[in-house]
Each structure stands twice: as structure tokens, then as C-alpha cells.
Structure 1
Amino acid sequence: MEKMKAITVMSALAQPTRLAVFSLLARAGEEGMTAGDLAERTGTPSNTMSSHLTILSHAGLATSRRAGRNIFYRALPDAIRQLTVFLIKDCCDGCAAICDDLEGDLNACRKPKLAKSRTSASA
């Protein structure tokens, strides 16, 4: 990722509603969500949501597809992966160890979900 692209991605996410929308889209997966659903979930007016989705799309964080009368948006999480790699290379001089225990932090995020799914499976 080039420096200007990284700045564009970070700028797009540096706003509370857009960050919330990206998180919702990431959790929605391939199916995505409509702009109306996103507006309702975030309490954002439709015209403002449209602007937010345009910014996320231009930053390469979201894409859309038409299904009949609806337009579904979905996250492009690879942009976050690319941004993370860029930051580690650029800010940490390519040494993940400088960023402390990044792998441990990421694994800690996964453990509660695994435990939860095991609990639901046994219930």
C-alpha cells in the first residue's frame, strides 16, 4: 500500500459513523447490508449515509452490488490487512516485534468467539 492510499483509508475510518458502518459491514460478511439498514442501525439520515458509503467506497473499504431495487454494500476487509501491513513496515521498520505482541493481541480477540461457539454447540 502506498502512503497516500494509507492516508485515504485512515481518513475514511477517522469518523465515528464511518467506523461503525465499516464494522457493521465487516460483520455482515458477503451478504452485506443496504444503505437503509445501515442508516437505521446507526441512526444516521439516509442522505448522510450515502455520503459515508461513498467515502468508504472511494477509500477501497466497501463495495456495492445491485439486487433488484436494493443496493447492498459489503466491507472489503483486505484494505485493513493491507493498511496493517503498511503500518508495520512503515512505522515498525518491518519488524513486527517492535509493535509488541501483535499476534498475541489478535489471538486474544479470537479466543472469546471460539469459547462462545463451543458453549453454543454444547447447549
Structure 2
Amino acid sequence: MAVSVVAKFVADEWFKIMAILCFLIFVVSLTVELRVDNVLVGFFSLSGLLWGIGEMACRPYREILVEDFAGPGWGKLSGRPRRLNAPGLILFALSISVAALGCLRGWPMVSAMVSAI
């Protein structure tokens, strides 16, 4: 069964798409007055942006040479295997911290909605 080109692109590059969309939402939260709390939207979009950049840091492009077992010669494997590294771990920790700040900022709004019910 063939996989569509768009589905393969999204599956391989979801973290870049997420980082770009979160960056755009972050810029909108800084420049446009929204109907919700701009700081809350800014926290969560910044968290998504940091997570996407952290995924990019953990997926550098790699190429290795492997011996061809079917015949004489060598083959080349290339791709973006995920390996956790220090910059990615730092960005993930920052992302979780910013999301926690967003949760703290949004808690009074959630508790007010629950008490109104």
C-alpha cells in the first residue's frame, strides 16, 4: 500500500511543522490583542516552539557506510534517527517549565469556570 507524499512528509517532519506553527502563534500573541489571555497563549506557544526545536536538536542528519552483504561493495544509509542529547534535553526541560508556567497562569481561569458550574 502506497503512502502519500504529504503523509510521509508530515510523519518525518512533524517537529519542524510544530515549531513553525507555534512560532507564528507566539508572534500573534505578542502583536495582536486576542479574546483570551495573550500571556497564556504566549506561554503555551513558546513551550511548543521549544519542544519542536528540541526535537530538531535530537534528530541531526546522519549518513553511515555499511557493507553490502548481497554482493561486493558498500552501501550508504542516511536518515534522522532520534538520539537524546544535552541540547535537546535542555530544550525539553525549558519547554516543560514554560508549560508549567502556562498552567499556573491559567489555573485561576479554570477554577473560576468550574466554580461557575
TM-score (norm 1): 0.30
> Which structure is larger by alpha-carbon Rg, 1 or 2?
2
